């Protein structure tokens, strides 16, 4: 298993995982735009040459925001999400970030349980963030 920087060779697999994971998945154009943004880190978790997961974070000043994170459905509930969160924490500390934020679907119990077990706490609700659904804003203090 390894975490590597995004490359376009992963794009089709990431788009497929996006569609399997989210009601409003990011498009190829959105993903490529993030990859070309200088304040964004786009990482891919590989397991035996298969995209097991990926994350996109933005680090500005002393704050990290998780913009997108997903685990391939075939690899869920096998610590891959925790591995990526640990890498995000490492990247954030390296960049001298003091806090990590993210939004998550209010009813995404599996993700909420993962984030809370990692140490994230709910700090607010964004009403209708996902069109018809609310999102919890979570914070992890480094």
CATH topology of domain 2-141: Aminopeptidase (3.40.630)
Q: In what order do the strands lie in the sheet with 121-130?
A: 2-5, 40-47, 50-60, 63-71, 99-105, 133-141, 121-130
DSSP H or E run through 15: helix 11-21
**pLDDT of amino acid 24:** 85
Cross-strand bridge partners of residue 105: 135
> What local confidence, expressed as pLDDT, does residue 120 receive?
98
pLDDT of the residue at 127: 87
Q: What is the pLDDT of residue 129?
A: 76
| Residues 3, 44 contacting (CB under 8 angstroms) | yes
Give me 123's structure tokens: 């700090």
* Whole-structure pTM value: 0.94
What are the residue ranges in the chain where pLDDT is below 50?
none
Tokens 């995209």 belong to residue: 51
């Amino acid at each position: 298993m390894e975490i590597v920087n995004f490359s376009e060779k992963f794009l089709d697999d990431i788009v497929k995982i996006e569609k399997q994971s989210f009601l409003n998945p990011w498009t190829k154009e959105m993903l490529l735009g993030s990859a070309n943004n200088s304040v964004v880190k786009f990482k891919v978790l590989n397991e035996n040459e298969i995209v097991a997961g990926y994350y996109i974070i933005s680090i500005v000043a002393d704050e990290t925001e998780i913009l997108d994170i997903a685990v391939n459905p075939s690899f869920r509930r096998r610590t891959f999400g925790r591995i990526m969160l640990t890498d995000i924490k490492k990247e954030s500390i390296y960049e001298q970030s003091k806090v990590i934020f993210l939004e998550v679907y209010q009813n995404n119990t599996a993700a909420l349980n993962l984030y809370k077990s990692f140490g994230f706490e709910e700090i607010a609700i964004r009403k209708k963030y996902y069109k018809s659904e609310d999102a919890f804003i979570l914070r992890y203090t480094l």
